[in-house]
Every structure is written in C-alpha cells, then in structure tokens.
Amino acid sequence: MDTIPVIDIAPFRDGTATEQQAVDGAVADACTSLGFLIIEGHGVADSLVDEMRTVSRAYFDRPLEEKLKLRMPPDRYRGYISLGSEALSYSLDEESPPDFKESFSIGPIDPADDAYHRSAAPGKFFAPNFWPESPPGFRPIWEAYYREMERVATTLMRIFALGLGMDKHYFDDKVDRHITNFSVLHYPEQAKPPLPGQLRAGAHTDYGSLTILKPDNAPGGLQVQKDDNWIDVPTLPGTFIVNLGDLMADWTNDRWVSTLHRVVNPPRAQALGSRRLSMAFFHQPNYDAVIECLPTCSEAGRPPRYSKTTSGEHVWMKINKHRTPDLAGAQA
C-alpha cells in the first residue's frame, strides 16, 4: 500500500448491514497495512472547518507577548506553545533540533465536577481550558469543532470494534470520558533556512487511539513512513486524515500499526508562501482505561506482546518526553 486509501464512512452511519461491513473491512485493511486512511462522508460541515481555519489563523497573527499570556503550564496540556518549544522526536528518545511550529491546545469541554474527573491522574486531564480574548468568536467556534470531532471519533471507534471482530459498542465505556487534546498547529513561513536536521515536526508516532487531522494544502506537508520510504499524505477537499496511535497498536497486539510520520519543511523556493495550519484531534481514551491485548488479537504463537498500562499513564509519559525542560522557550 503505497498510497493512502480514501474511505467513505457514510454507509456505516446510514447504510445497510452489508454496506457497513464493507466500511469495516476497508478500514481494517488500512489499519493493518499502514495505520493511515483518509475519510469522507463524515458529516462535518465545510463551513465549520472554514470558520476554524479563519479564527485560528487570526489568533496566531496576534503579537507574541499576547499569546504568551496563555502559555502552557508544565502540569497540564492547555494553552499556547511557542515556536521551538517541543521536539516530537524526543517522544521516541531520538534527539533533534526543536520543531519549527507553534500551537494552541484545549482539552475536554465542560467536564462534570465530580470525584472521577477531579481524581484524574497523573495529569490534570480535566483542567479548565484557557481562552484568548481575541479574535472574537474563538471559543464558540473551537468548542463546536471539538464536539464534532468527538462525534466522528466515536463513530470511528465503533468501526474499529467491528473491524476487530468485536461488538460495535466494545470501546464505548472506554472513551465516554476521554481525555483528548485538540491542537491547532501553526507552521510559519520559513524566511530563514531551518537548522540542520530541523523539521516542522520531527518523526514520531501518535500516542493515543487515533488522530483526526485537517491540514492546509500548503508546501511542506505530512509524510508517513512505509518500508523505509516516506510517502506524501495528500490533502483532499472535504476529507480528514486519520491515523492510529500507539495505544491502538498495543490494544491490537500490533495487528494494527501506529506508523512513523513527520511534517517536512517546504522547498526553499516556496518558503515564503508556505504558511501551514493543521487541526489535530488527538483522541485519547479515558484516563483509567486499561490498555491490554484485546480478546480477538492473540492466539497460539502470537501471545500478548505488551504489559498492561492505562491511557493516562501512557500519554503523560509521552507528553513529558517531547517537551523536555531544556527545549521549553527555545526560539520563543
């Protein structure tokens, strides 16, 4: 599979049992072969995507000193991350220069004020979100988009369950109080050449169950590794890119794959027209969801490969790797 498959998931939502099975099978094939797919038929309005892109671009155009007022604190994953403050390659214990990007992130919206949510550990997964005062409309647009991504992620997890030979609702109680981080990543134009070895986002795998990505079609884009080659991931109108994270690979005993990917720099001839925005919904199961080999993913000769962990423990470990203290504030 040297291209990213495009799969219409509308029949899963609205079609017959036979049509639903066809969607399950196509998704399962993509998850087995590459861990990346492109979905259409998701039901997300183009107008909402356009509003998100417009208001997010306007935010990143604000003065740096204004954005730094909501700088992400070390005890949670909320707020603004300045240019060069992360290196995703560190999540795989690979050193590199800091990534050439800035971002703004939020988490779950309006979580319940109860013992379960207050006890979240080891991170403050339900901490209040930060909201900038400008541009106008930022918060309601971001909240509306987050809720749409929740809906699409729930649909995908049900497709995954059937594709793995389990009940459609198997994952429901493992993601009903999810701890998803939603980030908009801004890759500025590169007026000066990047540092040797510096990328917009270093090679890494994602951490959770799945990622739903909506990037701009701009020079310097996403690539996925396949057989030691890097494949460009196309940006198609009306679609979202979906890739698996490490926890889904662990859950499936590597039957499905969490694949190395990166965001490359634009060619120098296009560097001044290469501004890029990418909206990333990093779906993460409930913090106490136990991640261990699924009942359909082990057999004689293929015993469980990974020790038991929880969603919260895993993601917090990864986050603290990729934002190491010596990088915090670099190039800010």
The CATH code of domain 6-322 reads 2.60.120.330
User: What pTM, to 2 d.p., does this model score?
Assistant: 0.93
For residue range 88-108, what is the model confidence (pLDDT) as tens digits?
766 767 777 888 899 999 999
pLDDT in tens, the chain (332 residues): 468 999 999 999 888 889 999 999 999 999 999 999 999 999 999 999 999 999 999 999 999 999 999 999 988 899 999 987 876 766 767 777 888 899 999 999 999 999 999 999 998 999 999 999 999 999 999 999 999 999 999 999 999 999 999 999 999 999 999 999 999 999 999 988 988 889 999 889 999 999 999 999 998 899 999 988 999 999 999 999 999 999 999 999 999 999 999 999 999 999 888 999 999 999 999 999 999 999 999 988 889 999 999 999 999 988 887 664 544 433 32
Query: Domain spans of the chain?
Result: 6-322
Residue 209 in contact with residue 245, Cβ under 8 Å?
Answer: yes
Q: Give the whole-angstrom CA distance, residue 243 versus residue 282.
A: 10
Residues 15-54 as b/e (b if ≥16 CB within 10 A, e otherwise) read beeeebebbbebbbebbeebbbbbbebbebeeeebebbbe
The pLDDT value recorded for residue 2 is 61
H or E element, residue 202: strand 201-204
Q: Give the whole-angstrom CA distance, residue 209 versus residue 253.
A: 13
Q: Give the whole-angstrom CA distance, residue 66 versus residue 64.
A: 5
The pLDDT value recorded for residue 90 is 65
